[in-house]
Structure 1
Amino acid sequence: MPHPTDKQAMYERLRAYFQRQLAISDAQFEVVKQALIPKVLQRNELVVWQGEVERRGAFVVKGCLRSYVVDKKEKEHIIQFAPENWWISDQHSMLRGLPAMCSIEAVEESEVLLFGPDFFPLLQTLGPAFQAFFHTLLQNSMAAMQRRLIATLSATAEERYLEFLQMYPTLVQRLPQRMIAAYLGVTPESLSRIRKELARS
């Protein structure tokens, strides 16, 4: 558990995030706070385990998390990164109480606010503005996953890398090359070649 002053700073970061989206009163934010658990994650620490029922997700205050699956050949496939101000969860496990389809892990030391399956329904009880916020969040998540799926199926490796740069502009210098390659579905050697070709163009 974070130090009390660090815990307060984490909540303040979340409040600043909400205030960029909507007006939030002290009473409303107190309700939100009560539904969250502050936690400092060490690098490589897991929040959700693939195959286990882990009904929790995270809002990333500081650092970066990733969701990934390991196939039968023990190969990792990264689905999503979640840097600062991103939400991340395995909705399959979160909403239905089923074994998680992916693992969620801290890529670097991270400060997060953990939430359970009742968190987003709770937000919607706080009024129309929060209902609209949840709807927008859901739409954005679905649009991002749709873009990701289409890129995986039809885009070239270079196009997928350019899409990665657009979606995660702060991460290219923070992530190991092997993780970016796993996200793109290419080898680290292929990623190096793509980067060199783009640098020359």
Structure 2
Amino acid sequence: MNFDHILQNVRQHIPLSQEEADLFTSLLDARVFKKKSFLLHSGDVCLCETFVVKGCVKIFYTDAAGVEHIVKFAVENWWTMDLESFAQQTPAFYTIQALEDTETLQLSKTNHDVLYERVPQFEKFSRLQFQNAYILLQHRLTQNLYLSAEEKYNRFTEKYPGLELRIPQKEIASYLGITPEFLSMLRKRRMKPAIS
């Protein structure tokens, strides 16, 4: 397994010696999830944080009426988990599912705690991860409250460039909180050349 991407991701936030990098990578588990398989089910405890090496997963919840609401996608070089479940080791609210065959590196809660103990600057890395997750959540809430469907779609294409070509339209519609038919209309409108 090539650890270049995950080490580059971590080193954007904290310095790591070669010895520390070797310890970190030794604590990771490489796992491949087939398309439509689950990384986490709602109600289970989130036992690891996951780094996406290749592929895409969706993080969602299902409401009482059985409707799925996607809150986030995680693509290459993104971390994902049910944050509250992982931090407190309580049942997860969210479900995480692969939308493509997905290669991951996972750090278990046990190994996460070992890492904190042996490489203290990983506490800073985790703090920055949690901070960024909170900022993303704030942005997502604000966008849902104030942006039009078209503006939300534009933000989606900026945040996840090229993803609309990789995953089903119904997944994107769920993320945006609109119907697939309305999304199709937005996409057609966007592709229509401007008349000069």
Question: TM-score per shorter chain, which class?
Answer: 0.7 to 0.9
1:1-201 superposed matches below 5 A: 8-9=1-2, 11-118=3-110, 122-125=114-117, 126-128=119-121, 130-200=122-192
- TM-score w.r.t. length of structure 1: 0.86
Please say if residues 58 and 112 of structure 1, whose CA atoms lie closer than 8 Å, have aligned partners that are also in contact. Answer: yes
Distance 1:50 1:169, change over 3 A: same
- TM-score w.r.t. length of structure 2: 0.88
Aligned-residue offset at 1:139: 2.0
Letter in 1 for 2:67: K
Q: In 1, distance between residues paired with 2:172 and 2:123?
A: 34
* Structure 2 equivalent of residue 3 of structure 1: none
Q: In 2, distance between residues paired with 1:92 and 1:195?
A: 35
2:165 alignment partner, SS class: coil
Aligned-residue offset at 1:85: 0.6
Letter in 2 for 1:81: F
Q: In 2, distance between residues paired with 1:199 and 1:165?
A: 13
Aligned residue pair count:
192
* Structure 2 equivalent of residue 4 of structure 1: none
Q: Could you list the runs of 5+ residues in structure 2 that have no partner in the other structure?
A: none
**Deviations 1:172-191 (CA, angstroms, capped at 9, x unpaired):** 21111010000001000010
Please say if residues 48 and 86 of structure 2, whose CA atoms lie closer than 8 Å, have aligned partners that are also in contact. Answer: yes
Aligned-residue offset at 1:66: 1.1
Q: Could you list the runs of 5+ residues in structure 1 that have no partner in the other structure?
A: 1-7
Q: In 2, distance between residues paired with 1:20 and 1:54?
A: 25
